[in-house]
Amino acid sequence: MLLLSGTLPFELDSLAVGRVGFDGASITVGDVRVPARFMTIGATAMIAAAHETARALGMELPTCVLAGDRGEGRGSRQVYRFLAEEAGSLGPSAVTVHYVLPLRNEFMEFVEMADYWTRRPFLIADAGAMLIAKATRLCKRFDLFTPDAGEIAFLADPDAGHPAYVKASLFEVDTTQVPELIAKAQAAGNAPEYLLVKGPVDFVARNGKVLQTVSQPNLPAMEAVGGTGDTVTGMVSALIGGGVEPLRACLAALRANRLAGQLCHLTPATGVFEIVGHIGEAVKSTIDST
């Protein structure tokens, strides 16, 4: 079972915890319906993509722990507390940590407690979770990061405490630099065993070495559509949570993301949920050929 976790900038008195529902237009987590105005934000794209992947392949639908947080930190603390104190009882095989504030002590407590669960989960980090993993030197306690090119530059720079402070020579990344940055991040202890680096060319690496790249179909417009990296994170999370081997899951997710974009005739004006609408078809096609 996959457990997704994250926050959205809306008012929510308590945590929403439960099975994910998605009807093509709205998301529910347990009894909580996500307001329609947030259906273009990265976390919702991740949740919907994970749901559609699991549904298409007949896997158990993901569970999610979701909080409202407008930057004051209360919701993020609730998420971390749930992950540290209650998530283990659910028995998830994989846990993905997405948009949460980088709260040092709370994050460290969760990562430490995961080792004491009956079954240690496969830990996946994206977005803010990678930032705090680097800051706390706990990158190696994770199993998979899903950065974009700018984020892998941040992980490769041992002196950067935040992506905004990455050396200019690293921040302006082109595709040819990514393998070197992956190796540097690994050597600095800032990368887990597996890396999925998203961009015009996608890279899949293990222990600092690039094993596969994905560049087709070539869809330059995808770089202009917000949330397409989050759909990859949702798909790979669902696949790993459903028992697919990590390298195969990474490749299938990357190929399915591009295929879904192709199926919806992607343009720079395309909304990410138009892509999500084709993920089920795309993932069924790519998993069989990966």
Average confidence score pLDDT of the chain: 92
Share of the chain above pLDDT 70, in %: 95
Residue range 158-195, pLDDT digits in tens? 876 655 545 544 445 678 899 999 999 999 999 999 99
> What pLDDT score was predicted for residue 42?
77
Enter the CATH code of domain 2-289.
3.40.1190.20
Mean pLDDT confidence for 100-124: 95
Distance of CA 117 to the CA centre of its chain: 22
Mean pLDDT confidence for 134-161: 92
Rg of the chain on CA atoms, in Å: 17
- Which position has the higher pLDDT, 168 or 117? 117
Element (H, E) at 189: none
User: What angle do the packed helices 128-135 and 104-114 form, to 10 degrees?
Assistant: 90
The upper half-sphere exposure of residue 42, i.e. CA atoms within 13 Å in the direction of its Cβ, equals 16
Domain boundaries, the chain: 2-289
> What pLDDT score was predicted for residue 26?
92
Tokens 């803010």 sit on residue: 128
